[in-house]
Amino acid sequence: MVQAGDVAFAVYEAGPEEGRPVLLLHGWPELAYSWKKIMPALANAGYRAIAIDQKGFGQSSRPDDPSQYGMDVLTSDFALLARALGYHKILICGHDWGGAMIWPMAYRYADLVEGVIGICTPHRKRPPAAPIEIFRTKFSARHYVVMFQDAGLPDQIFGGQEEELFRFMFRFAPPPKIWPKLIPAIYDQTDRFKEFKGCRDDQLVISPADLQVFIDAYKNSGHRTPTHVYRNVDHNWRLTANTDLTVHQPVLMFPAERDIMLPPETAEQMEDLCPDLDMHLLQDCGHWAMWEKPDEINQVLIQWLEQRFPA
């Protein structure tokens, strides 16, 4: 446990203590454990892999105040954590919500962050309107991001059904050719979960033993604080008014071909926002990229790091 300001982070480390630090940020509904197949490769290549349970998740502090989960506060938390660990320079790597956090971290703390790795979640230009209204208009009020604005809903829907939740979430993704038939209904996570009838182990991207880690953790934490990040979507948009969103550090981006939540085409704006960009498409891969394609990610990641940031 590492204290960073008011937040106690559960920190998991691997690799030589003198190795260049890589901070690994997970998304929802995940944990530091989601980096299980990435950390050994970083450590073996001489890097210091540092995975955390995000604030609100797992064993880290879980304040029940949505205002503590905006990008202004979260990026400050990460800067304080880096300094508490003794680092003046870090590399950051994020997936899903963690992937959304790395971009403001990079331009808000440019002196601290020397390189950025995104998995699935691209850096995008500022939308012309508040995102919740865009989700509501484009996909309906049943879109899960809109629904999650109700802080009590996740526990009402998922509480006590953790095994069903993670079996529902951690399935292999459908191929892009059938996406038109699934959209927008696929974004209605709450009703789809209620209708879910279970699945076989071989339909999951993770093993039953790995699944159990998530089940146990969320039985303990509940589902309210891990979803407070969703209650800041419009707040985060307001923060970017009149802000230069350019990320000047070297960037490595991994879009995933089958990621229906964050399709590869959503990364098309990144060349304008990230002048030093390398892109690697994970083919035949869905949203849970670190579980589905760890060997490919590790190979490309280590090669890029060794070229740009030797351990």
pLDDT tens for each residue of 88-126: 999 999 999 999 999 999 999 999 999 999 999 999 999
- Residue 196: the pLDDT is 95
- Residue 214: the pLDDT is 98
Residues 195-201: what's their mean pLDDT? Answer: 94
Look at phi and psi of residue 254 and say left if phi exceeds 0, alpha if psi is from -120 to 50, else beta: beta
**pLDDT tens digit string along 200-214?**
999 999 999 999 999
Residues 18-41: what's their mean pLDDT? Answer: 98
Q: pLDDT band for 48, please (50, 70, 90 cuts).
A: very high
Half-sphere exposure of 189 (CA within 13 A, CB side): 18
Q: Is the pLDDT of residue 37 over 90?
A: yes
Residues 132-141: what's their mean pLDDT? Answer: 94
Residues 13-41: what's their mean pLDDT? Answer: 98
Is beta strand 21-25 parallel, antiparallel or unpaired with respect to 90-95? parallel
Q: Mean pLDDT score of the chain, rounded to an integer?
A: 97
**pLDDT tens digit string along 256-281?**
999 999 999 999 999 999 999 999 99
Distances in Å between the Cα of 147 and the Cα atoms of 130, 238, 251 are: 15, 20, 33
Q: Is the pLDDT of residue 172 over 90?
A: yes
Contact 87, 2 (CB under 8 A): no
Contact 91, 116 (CB under 8 A): yes
The whole-angstrom separation of Cα 53 and Cα 221 is 12
Number of domains in the chain: 1
DSSP 251: E
Contact 5, 77 (CB under 8 A): yes
Residues 44-72: what's their mean pLDDT? Answer: 98
**Percent above pLDDT 90 for the chain:** 99
**pLDDT tens digit string along 205-262?**
999 999 999 999 999 999 999 999 999 999 999 999 999 999 999 999 999 999 999 9
- Residue 211: the pLDDT is 98
For 25, other C-beta atoms within 10 Å of its C-beta total: 27
**Whole-prediction pTM value?**
0.97
- Residue 179: the pLDDT is 95
**Percent above pLDDT 70 for the chain:** 100
Q: Is the pLDDT of residue 311 over 90?
A: no
Residues 23-35: what's their mean pLDDT? Answer: 98
Helices 71-84 and 97-108 cross at an angle (nearest 10°) of: 80
Distances in Å between the Cα of 306 and the Cα atoms of 45, 82, 150 are: 9, 22, 44
Domain that holds residue 153: 2-308
Instruction: Measure the CA dihedral 109/133/97/192, to 10°.
Output: 180
Q: pLDDT band for 144, please (50, 70, 90 cuts).
A: very high
Residues 6+ apart with CB under 8 A from 99: 25, 27, 118, 119, 120, 121, 122
Nearest to 92 by CA among 42, 25, 36: 25
CATH number of the domain where residue 27 is located: 3.40.50.1820
Q: Collapse the DSSP code of 217 into the 3-class scheme (helix H, G, I; strand E, B; otherwise coil) and give the result.
A: helix
Long-range contacts of 174-177 (CB under 8 A, 24+ apart): 174/258, 174/260, 175/258, 176/257, 176/258, 176/260, 176/263
